[in-house]
Amino acid sequence: MNLKCLLVDDELIGQKLLKQYIQLVEQLELVAICGNAFQAMEILKTEKVDLIFLDIQMPHLLGTSMIKTLQHPPKVIFVTAHEEYAVEAFELDAVDFLLKPVSLERFLKAVNKVIGSGNAQEDRISRAGMEFICFRANRKTIKVFLDQIIYIESVKDYIKIYRDQGAPLLVKQSLTALEAMLSHQYFIRIHRSFIVSINRITAFTSCDVEIGTLEIPIGRRFAAQVKRLSLMKG
């Protein structure tokens, strides 16, 4: 089950960036993009919307004022360049309050608050239950099943995803952004350049992790979180 979302922002640059972020998250379905609050309210009359990404400072009607007019508003993540609205936003029970320009990492953190909440049916689409992630590579969208991932390597502005079959998939994305999308129950970051599938680990020391004959170094700043493998694998 996808979460239907509405994007409301009067700035084209803001619309474009958030649209790209939304398309990276398999569980989000973008219903419409609106340039002002009145357009958004018309959409809400005919469409079921679970989540609104809502700018605040817009012509004619503020985003916060729009929410006050709704009898049963959807969940809201405010996205604005004006931090002075933060208190009012949270008084309206906003899921989160994002300041522009919004980084992908911060966006994902906010979205996970929505994806990770709700009833048992909704829990199946949370990070822990996510079966696959779609990536843009080679001018197409490629579905990668999480149980096929062996490990992921950061290479400058790209990541390499090593899977059971085929050549590594090269994707333009940061390792930190991908880490935010993965469940820590199944994946662990062991180095600034590596994330590994916990189930694929065959042995480890204080210095490296082994996946079969492959040895991947453990970074000093990640050593503490690697120690939890002793509890999980022991």
Whole-number average pLDDT of the chain: 86
32 vs 139: CA distance, rounded Å: 24
Domain annotation for the chain: domains and CATH numbers: 3-127 (3.40.50.2300), 134-233 (2.40.50.1020)
Closest CA to 5 of 26, 38, 31: 31
- For residues 97 and 87, the answer to whether their CB atoms sit within 8 Å is no
Question: Residue 63, Cβ neighbours under 10 Å: how many?
Answer: 27
The residues pairing with 154 across neighbouring beta strands, listed in sequence order, are: 159
180: confidence class by pLDDT, cuts 50, 70, 90? confident
CA 223, distance to chain mean position in Å, is 25
Higher pLDDT, 165 or 7: 7
Residue by residue, what is the 3-state secondary structure of 85-128? HHHHHHHCCCCEEEECCCCHHHHHHHHHHHHCCCCHHHHCCCHH
Q: Is the pLDDT of residue 230 over 80?
A: no
52 vs 210: CA distance, rounded Å: 44
Of 82-86, 127-131, 151-155, 227-231, where does the model show the most confidence? 151-155
Q: Is the pLDDT of residue 6 over 80?
A: yes
The residues pairing with 204 across neighbouring beta strands, listed in sequence order, are: 209
User: How far is the CA of 211 from the CAs of 46, 151, 157, 175, 219, in angstroms?
Assistant: 52, 9, 25, 19, 16
Per-residue confidence (pLDDT) for residue 126, from 0 to 100 = 38
What DSSP character marks residue 201? -
Q: Is the pLDDT of residue 164 over 60?
A: yes
